[in-house]
Amino acid sequence: KLEAVQWLADWLLANNPNKALSFAEADLHLDPNNEEDANFFVTEPVPAAPVDAEDVAVAVDDLQSQTAATKVQSHFRGYQARKNVTLRRAAAASGGSAAAAVVLESHTAAGAGEIDLGTEEHAKAATTVQANFRGHKARQETKKMKQEEDAAATKVQSGFRGHQDRKKVAAMKSGEAVAAEAKAAAAEEA
């Protein structure tokens, strides 16, 4: 099927009416006798191999069949997953032992084999996974708190710097005003 799709793609590339004409190196023959005429290259177009319309139709049908089969398989997997979820919810509502049976049944149906959930090794593994996850969440929370503290400190520092700068500008303006008044007083006396 892949060969048919590849053949169809090659055929469509070769017979695209919107594509500018191009020639392969093998199609461009050198003619040394015409060097004086500045026509060093002589192109000889090679006609495309005749293609049967039936072959194209078969290739298109194969491609459509593949697409349809993929879609059907996808829909069936979705149906199966929804059915398993419904069974698990019903089993969980009715009791815990039925839920374990449904889980085992779904794993067996999928070809995973039977799983013994009661071993101590599984309990240790579950405890390790849970501890690692709790540590991961704690590290995330600590990182978030530190970022919030840094953002708050930056905001406080920014506000204080602005306050200091405004104070300096006010002092400079009052200093300029005092100097201007002294200059005006000196000008009046003179």
State both tokens at 26.
């093998």
Q: In a 10 Å sphere around its CB, with 0-12 CB exposed, 13-18 middle and 19+ buried, how is residue 133 labelled? A: exposed
102 contacts: CB under 8 Å, gap ≥ 6 = 84, 87, 88, 91
Per-residue pLDDT of the chain (190 residues), as tens digits, is 678 888 887 887 777 766 666 666 566 555 556 555 445 555 566 666 666 667 777 777 888 888 888 888 888 888 998 998 888 888 778 765 554 555 555 555 555 445 555 678 888 888 888 999 999 999 999 999 999 999 999 999 999 999 999 999 999 998 888 888 888 888 888 6
Of 22, 19, 3, 15, the closest CA to residue 53 belongs to 15
CB neighbourhood size of 143 (10 A)? 10
How far apart CA 137 and CA 139 sit, in angstroms, is 5
Of 42, 49, 50, the closest CA to residue 23 belongs to 42
